Structure 1
Amino acid sequence: MFFVDTIEVSGLGNRSYLAGGEETAVAVDPPRDIDRVIAAAARRGVRILHVVETHVHNDYVTGGLELARVTGADYLVPADARVSFERVPVHDGDRAVIDGDAGLTLRALATPGHTPHHTSYVLEENGTAVVVFTGGSLLIGTVGRPDLVEPRLTEHLARAQHASVNRLAAELPEEATVFPTHGFGSFCSSSQAEGSATTIGKEKVSNEAFTRDVDTFVADLLAGLDDIPAYYAHMGPTNAAGPAPVDLTPPAVADADEIAARLAAGEWVVDLRNRVAFAAGHVSGSFNFEAEGQLATYLAWLIPWGRPVTLLAESAEQLAVAQRELVRVGIDRPAAAATGEPSAWVRQGEAPASFPRATFVDLASRHPAEGVVVLDVRRASERADAHIEGSVHIPVHDLRRRLREVPEGEVWVHCAGGMRAAIAASLLEAVGRDVVAVDDSFDEAEKAGLTVRNS
């Protein structure tokens, strides 16, 4: 018998896996906070013999090198990946014994496309393929995007992606379970996948990589690619060099004077509380990135890389969770932190800042009107379906460098659900703009008579 345990990294839309038998196991694409993998192995009572990477990741910092060092496991990395550390180079067809007593072996299957060196791993039980770990190749209902390596290679990799997933279908039984790393909200996915489990057989019926010819598939894949998070440019080099171990000890405590000094020095002060609490009261000049949202993705995307960051949290627990999220994308040590509430974070004699929240019904009662600016901070792919007539479009990840493009007036900022609108509102308020954060589902905009459907 074999097992596969899923280790969710939901903030980044990824999954890692621990698979094995009664005594030994393999870790696949582990996150940087390796204690979660070690704990999973301890619960199973197994020793990790192998740590494998499907590819050099572009969206997060891997924990593979450190996990292999700590456990003494062999570190298997595709042979063609250019890395600066010792590892076991993996070639197409290579095998590794995972648990000999259970008849479990792992077979490497070259599946270029997401990256040129991408490799999937087939778990075989007594010679029968039962599971395939597909990394950024075959995902649930889609595939990994091919444009994260080099623009000149994108079409070539898209074609390779089509060939690779069809190779998986040709060589593996339909009942083999597919366990991808990406595709659960990750921007490494070419589109947003739905569902939590799939098989080769299910994908052959529903996935466009199988149901469309290569030319149509490639054309549609390339046409649907969205913006690449800016921090991705730093993930590949970090992983290729070999990431350092993480330090999750609590950061230094900042008082109100230090918070003010850090803001004055141009550093980022990030409030992790939910957007309702932030709008009601916060340190003027601070930015709102909810700990419960896609904190790592959006903070790493927007912050100037390497800029010191101070974290403000409602509790020590919230702060610790945020630290764990951030090390996964290379934001290793907060410069300082504070917990509690805004009244303790502002200097004596100062009051917390605030701004109003609203719904799309509220916006409909004000728009169009002189002096009211509607700012849409969704991605271009979202706006392509529908938008509010007369609205200005600047995706939230572009807003910091395009603040001057926002027209004068009271800015009503919206996204699809409220989280990104809160980020944008905090960025705008920090430079002195009057803002209203629309904290509402975009579906309600059409009910309020605001949206225009694009043809």
Structure 2
Amino acid sequence: MDVVVIETPQLGDRSYLVHDGSVALVIDPQRDIDRVEAAATAADVRITHVAETHLHNDYVTGGLVLAEKHGAVYVVNAADHVSFARTPVADGDVFSVGRLSVRVVATPGHTHTHLAYVVRDAADDGGTEAVFSGGSLLYGSVGRTDLVAPGDTEALAHAQYSSVRRLADSAHPEAALYPTHGFGSFCSIGPASHQDSSTLAEQSAHNHALTDPSEEHFVAELLANITAYPAYYAHMSPLNSAGPAPVNLDVPESVEPAELARRLRSGEWVVDLRHRIAFAEDHLEGSVAFEYGNGSNFTSYLGWVIPWNQPLTLLGTHDDVEKAIRDLARIGIESPDAAVGPSPEKLAPGASRSSYPHGDWSLLLRERAQDDVVLDVRRPDEFEASHVQDAVNVPVYELLGRMTELPESRTWVHCATGYRASLAASLLDRAGRDVVLIDARFKDAAGAGIELVP
């Protein structure tokens, strides 16, 4: 048995190509299936089966399209309500992929109908096994349980506690563990570790979900660690239940300068992909900053901050626009327009431009006036742990709806690293506010002389 890992660090997820040297099973493929197909070609194997661990909440699946394109069996839980043909499976079912035996294990918790797959190489005398756990057992923790409905969260947390124990007992302790979430995904919760690989035995020794002897304590701890998740999640499960269609990842023809200027004047969403400092120093008035160079944050925060299903125009180099189109397709934002070029003046000559000051914590110490506002756009749990004295907390994903709560005075905006602050600063600038971007790490604030509480 060979397992090829297909990383999607932009969403903190992994997909897997599992094969016997001839035929392959694909587990939890992302929307851009060409990466899976390239892995299959490199391994010289044929895709015969595609399986989902659950109806995903954080991305649009490529499973249906991949299965139909390759004439593969599409394995989905029989209990899931879907609008397409699939091969329904349930707990205890076993199917073969070449010499590989695949056993289905019900693992409710992340969702009600979540499944895991235990794959065994029948030709191996030692019975080599691998466990594909989706959003159940992760490295160091488990998948979050609050994505289905608020009223189901606690019951699913109890189910998660039982499921991971059942899953840990379903294969040999030395079986390799391959989760879908837990690599920066908002679908994980608790003390997820940053390791690249693990086994059931290692998780049994160190994962709090398996070491905590008290189910009540585990559930209370899990619920206490729940934080906000991207707003676009609400649209993923319905899209996956309906059966996503193929997606076009081509870069469109560049928007004409006059049309781009019109979109800016009319208030459409125009997203500048350049570095946040380049944006602060010179940008098209009305555009917003979503730095693409920090790709691990781009997709989640754009889908979280910009209202769903709105016309979208990307500004940037061909390479950045091409990558951004692929990333956005994974969360159901399809075929955005684009203006491709190196700088704002080339994309819309004559259009109004804007800028705002930026600096580190020392700038705040030197130039903050008495009536100025310090705006912290981190999550509430980050703010509660420690924050600047007298700062106001409005998470970046709530800023559009709460901007009127802020005083009209000059606003110094910061976050943990500068990325979220740059999004917020651009939104404030777009609204005509007097803003200063603090492009600095929060952990450096105290050392710079900033008074923090508690």
TM-score, normalised on structure 1?
0.95
1:112 aligns to 2:108 (yes or no): yes
Match of 2:450 in 1: 450
Match of 2:300 in 1: 297
Tell me the distance in 1 between the aligned counterparts of 2:385 and 2:17.
39
Tell me the distance in 2 between the aligned counterparts of 1:434 and 1:193.
40
Aligned counterparts, 1:45-124, within 5 A: 45-100=44-99, 104-124=100-120
* SS of residue paired to 1:171: coil
Match of 2:364 in 1: 363
CA contact (8 A) 2:280 2:356 kept: yes
CA contact (8 A) 1:301 1:397 kept: yes
Match of 2:342 in 1: 340
* SS of residue paired to 1:312: strand
Q: 1:363, CA displacement in angstroms? A: 1.8
* SS of residue paired to 2:189: coil
Q: 1:129, CA displacement in angstroms? A: 5.3
Match of 2:22 in 1: 23
* SS of residue paired to 2:423: helix
**Structure 1 pair 44–295 and aligned structure 2 pair: CA distance change class (3 A):** same
* SS of residue paired to 1:163: helix
1:312 aligns to 2:315 (yes or no): yes
Tell me the distance in 2 between the aligned counterparts of 1:256 and 1:438.
31
Tell me the distance in 2 between the aligned counterparts of 1:194 and 1:385.
22
Tell me the distance in 2 between the aligned counterparts of 1:453 and 1:162.
36
Tell me the distance in 1 between the aligned counterparts of 2:354 and 2:20.
56
Aligned counterparts, 1:391-406, within 5 A: 391-406=391-406
Match of 2:434 in 1: 434
Tell me the distance in 1 between the aligned counterparts of 2:82 and 2:341.
40
Tell me the distance in 1 between the aligned counterparts of 2:5 and 2:94.
22
* SS of residue paired to 1:11: coil
Q: 1:371, CA displacement in angstroms? A: 2.7
CA contact (8 A) 1:371 1:408 kept: no
Aligned counterparts, 1:374-413, within 5 A: 374-413=374-413
CA contact (8 A) 2:359 2:440 kept: yes
* SS of residue paired to 1:295: helix
1:293-342 alpha-carbon deviations (Å, 9 max, x no partner)? 322111111111110000001x2111100000000000001134332211
Q: 1:211, CA displacement in angstroms? A: 1.9
Question: Which runs of 4 or more aligned residues in structure 1 lie more than 4 Å from their structure 2 counterparts after TM superposition?
Answer: none
Tell me the distance in 1 between the aligned counterparts of 2:96 and 2:238.
30
Alignment-mate amino acid for residue 438 of structure 2: V
Match of 2:33 in 1: 34
* SS of residue paired to 2:244: coil
Among all aligned residue pairs of Structure 1 and Structure 2, give the percentage whose two residues are the same amino acid. 48
CA contact (8 A) 1:346 1:352 kept: no
Q: 1:346, CA displacement in angstroms? A: 3.1
Tell me the distance in 1 between the aligned counterparts of 2:453 and 2:173.
40
Residue range with higher mean Cα deviation, 338-347 or 225-234: 338-347
Q: 1:364, CA displacement in angstroms? A: 2.7
TM-score, normalised on structure 2?
0.96
1:355-387 alpha-carbon deviations (Å, 9 max, x no partner)? 2221122223345x3132111001112122211
Q: 1:81, CA displacement in angstroms? A: 1.1
Alignment-mate amino acid for residue 54 of structure 1: T
Alignment-mate amino acid for residue 438 of structure 1: I
CA contact (8 A) 1:310 1:335 kept: yes
Residue range with higher mean Cα deviation, 54-63 or 163-172: 163-172
Alignment-mate amino acid for residue 408 of structure 1: E
Tell me the distance in 1 between the aligned counterparts of 2:354 and 2:408.
21
Match of 1:196 in 2: 196
Q: 1:453, CA displacement in angstroms? A: 4.5
Tell me the distance in 1 between the aligned counterparts of 2:229 and 2:78.
26
Tell me the distance in 2 between the aligned counterparts of 1:53 and 1:45.
23
* SS of residue paired to 1:155: helix
Q: 1:249, CA displacement in angstroms? A: 1.7
Tell me the distance in 2 between the aligned counterparts of 1:237 and 1:300.
16
